[in-house]
Structure 1
Amino acid sequence: MSSEHLQFTPLHDTHLSLGAKMVDFGGWDMPVSYGSQIEEHHAVRNAVGMFDVSHMLNIDISGQGSLGFLRRVLANDVARLAVPGKALYSCMLNPEGGVIDDLIVYFFAPNNWRLVVNAGRAKVDVAWLHEQAGQGDYGQVQITPRHDLAMVAVQGPHAREKVWNIRSGLQAQTESLSPFTAVFIESDFMVARTGYTGEDGFEIVLPATQVVDLWNALLAQGVRPCGLGARDTLRLEAGMNLYGQDMDEAIQPAQAGLAWTISLKDEARDFIGRKAITQAPKRNAFMGIRLNERGVMRAHMKVRTELGDGEITSGTMSPTLGFSIGFARLPEGIQPGASVKVELRGKWLPATLCTLPFVRNGKPLVS
């Protein structure tokens, strides 16, 4: 995409002033690194880093029909959310069971919810939500994309204390937050204990007009700016999927290791895609893979197993572990611990399958 057609977050000029290397990410001009992707990765694992995630879209869902609507359009069951501020990870499926998007949904009241969706899928998601709202008998549902908001993720073992230092009273308001819970500090200032790195931290949603001041306050606290490069290696180590690589509209959740995000308990809940994933399921194994020789695995590389061929969906060099890791979509029946081979530049190199994640809270789970 040509630069004149790229979208910018409210922090774009700030990234340029910090010397960030910028790349086109889903139509957004985003920082891939600020000098050293490896150092940014280690900062999050060992101390604290921050990411501009304002390209992701917050969508408010309100009205008396909200609960029934979300129970229809999401594969996970939002009826499980009873405590205000509690969040749930879910896929939104098409009628064939393919993943339109993976997202987080926050519950604040039966008629007050928020979705946070992927940047590259935002337009598709909003159009799909409007289409479904117009077809169902849910009662009143309002779908409000919040393009006026920005979002910063502060991640790492020191993340929360750094955030508390920038604003009086913030610790008292957020210290009791459990993981996957959010609270509104004021009308449009939300703090959620969520993230995409496998580390503790906060995601802060606030008016776009205030985000530069927030970023600079965190910078003054020694929080290291981090780009998409570190975000990718961190999420891979943490076993977290990336839309467009590990799943898409042709892939059912179970094919991407996301069967746990589907709730089938309420047999009367006819969510979109339920019939397809229960009556015409697509099956394969999906697990971690580590390379046993030098080299770096990348998406679409072939994997050869004793049960047939598969492929890498995401791959990288793990800064924490010191070897290449990835996710692999493989023949059904293959088990963790199996020895396989990966094709790198015409050579078949040995690799081992493993359960996910590779790293949790900074601690290696594979060796």
Structure 2
Amino acid sequence: MQKTVLNESHRRGGARMVDFGGWEMPLHYGSQIEEHHAVRRDAGMFDVSHMCAVDLDGPDAKAFLRRLIANNVDRLQVAGKALYSAMLNEAGGVIDDLIVYYLDDTRYRLVVNAGTATKDLAWMTDRLDEWQLAATLRQRRDGAEALAMIAVQGPNARHKVWQVLPECRPACADLKPFFAATVGEYFIASTGYTGEDGYEITLPTDQAEHLWEALAAAGVRPCGLGARDTLRLEAGMNLYGQDMDETVSPLDAGLAWTVDLLSPRDFVGKTALLSRLRQGQFLGLVLVDRGVLRAHQKVLTGAGNGEITSGTFSPTMQQSIALARLPLGVAIGDDVLVAIRDKLLAARVVKPCFVRNGTIRV
């Protein structure tokens, strides 16, 4: 398995290590529930160095992204602004979901998922060659230019980062959501995957262990993949490989807001999206009966059957919740049944954002 630069720090901290898509990553440090609550109530941090930063440079960088992704990079006009988008195949399926940071019209930073990084880079390189555009791609996960990434999340995350990195406060204190600032060798973004405030900090690998230990000393709790999953599901955030993949249209995965079909701009997969009607809708479920919702469980509705894509027990709500792909006729507030083993359990359809900024939203 591949290891991040913080692997030994995780081991010293008593983490239970697991295989996550070929990466040895911490599942938890003793209590997944306590780590989850730490992020909702105070501050927690995650090693996300397995994610892959890709720097795109060149006079045709913007033209490349205008054709590559479903969202419109023309919306990026201010340095540091970020854009969330899907990268599609010709059939309109999701190759990956990613974040694009705008530095200027010739420079962008992309962050792609860990398990799809090799595939993504191959796809992007092939498109560059095919379109004969003047731009270069540099992956920053391996080699001499490798970067580490630490996500610090929670209502007290910003203040605790400022304690450790006071030099970053002037540039980062007023960052709006989905913006980034460069401070020396640090790239600090007001993004995250938990539904809480905080930063995702990208920095040289040789400085990562020192920052991790300093944040821990400042009271930021190390957290593993277990809490990261329950937090993102409470926040209604998609997970690639579960909630969408290359066979699923972003229009059927709750990602229509990331797709620009109105401008004359063409992009890979646009023709397929325009020619194929939506097959279903992406909604949330809260289990009324006792039980635990899991991926692939069948959902029975008055408009036909659907399927859960991600499910878990919510530590914040103390209820079982799920994201599900349901028939178009289903509405928020409907009562449905979920097949769990040999039982049909009652659930309620909700807007797929259960908890944000510590507040239950359903």
Q: TM-score, normalised by structure 2?
A: 0.98
**Residue 265 of structure 1: how far off its partner (Å):** 2.6
- 2:61 pairs with 1:63: no
- 2:221 pairs with 1:224: yes
- 2:170 pairs with 1:172: yes
Taking the TM superposition and a 5 Å limit, the aligned residue runs for 1:100-179 are 100-138=95-133, 140-147=134-141, 148-179=146-177
> Deviations along 1:287-322, whole A, 9 cap, x unmatched?
000100111100000110011111100000000000
- 2:324 pairs with 1:324: no
Q: Distance in 2 between matches of 1:263 and 1:349?
A: 38
Instruction: Tell me which of 264, 269, 273 is aligned to 2:269.
Output: 273
**Equivalent residue for 2:252?**
255
> Deviations along 1:11-41, whole A, 9 cap, x unmatched?
0011011110111111100001000000000
> Deviations along 1:86-122, whole A, 9 cap, x unmatched?
0000000000000000000000010000000000000
**Equivalent residue for 2:287?**
291
- 2:200 pairs with 1:206: no
Q: CA RMSD in A?
A: 0.8
**Residue 356 of structure 1: how far off its partner (Å):** 1.9
- 2:354 pairs with 1:358: yes
Letter in 1 for 2:193: Y
**Residue 137 of structure 1: how far off its partner (Å):** 4.0
Instruction: Tell me which of 10, 15, 37 is aligned to 1:42.
Output: 37
Q: Distance in 2 between matches of 1:318 and 1:127?
A: 37
> Deviations along 1:182-241, whole A, 9 cap, x unmatched?
01101x310000000000000000011110000000011010000000000000010000
Q: Distance in 2 between matches of 1:41 and 1:171?
A: 26
Q: Distance in 1 between matches of 2:166 and 2:100?
A: 28
Q: Among all aligned residue pairs of Structure 1 and Structure 2, give the percentage whose two residues are the same amino acid.
A: 55
Letter in 2 for 1:246: D
Letter in 2 for 1:153: A
Q: Distance in 1 between matches of 2:49 and 2:167?
A: 24
SS in 2 for 1:15: helix
Letter in 2 for 1:301: Q
SS in 2 for 1:234: helix
**Residue 168 of structure 1: how far off its partner (Å):** 3.0
> Deviations along 1:73-93, whole A, 9 cap, x unmatched?
000001110000000000000
- 5+ residue gaps, structure 2: none
Letter in 1 for 2:260: S
**Residue 282 of structure 1: how far off its partner (Å):** 4.0
Instruction: Tell me which of 68, 73, 76 is aligned to 1:81.
Output: 76
Q: Distance in 1 between matches of 2:343 and 2:263?
A: 49
SS in 1 for 2:208: helix
Q: Distance in 2 between matches of 1:278 and 1:41?
A: 40
SS in 1 for 2:166: coil
**Equivalent residue for 2:261?**
264
**Residue 345 of structure 1: how far off its partner (Å):** 1.4
SS in 2 for 1:335: coil
SS in 1 for 2:116: helix
Q: Distance in 2 between matches of 1:282 and 1:248?
A: 16
Q: Distance in 1 between matches of 2:30 and 2:306?
A: 35
Letter in 1 for 2:240: Y
- 5+ residue gaps, structure 1: 1-5
Q: Distance in 1 between matches of 2:172 and 2:326?
A: 42
Q: Distance in 1 between matches of 2:72 and 2:181?
A: 21
Q: Distance in 2 between matches of 1:155 and 1:184?
A: 19
Which consecutive segments of 4 or more residues in structure 1 shift more than 4 A? Answer: none
SS in 1 for 2:248: coil
Q: Distance in 1 between matches of 2:282 and 2:161?
A: 36
Q: Distance in 2 between matches of 1:265 and 1:302?
A: 35
Q: Distance in 1 between matches of 2:7 and 2:175?
A: 30
Letter in 2 for 1:12: N
Q: Distance in 1 between matches of 2:341 and 2:52?
A: 38
**Equivalent residue for 2:182?**
184
Letter in 2 for 1:157: P
> Bigger CA drift: 330-339 or 234-243?
330-339
SS in 2 for 1:40: helix
The number of aligned residues is 358
**Residue 167 of structure 1: how far off its partner (Å):** 2.1
Taking the TM superposition and a 5 Å limit, the aligned residue runs for 1:92-107 are 92-107=87-102
> Deviations along 1:115-136, whole A, 9 cap, x unmatched?
0000000000000000000011
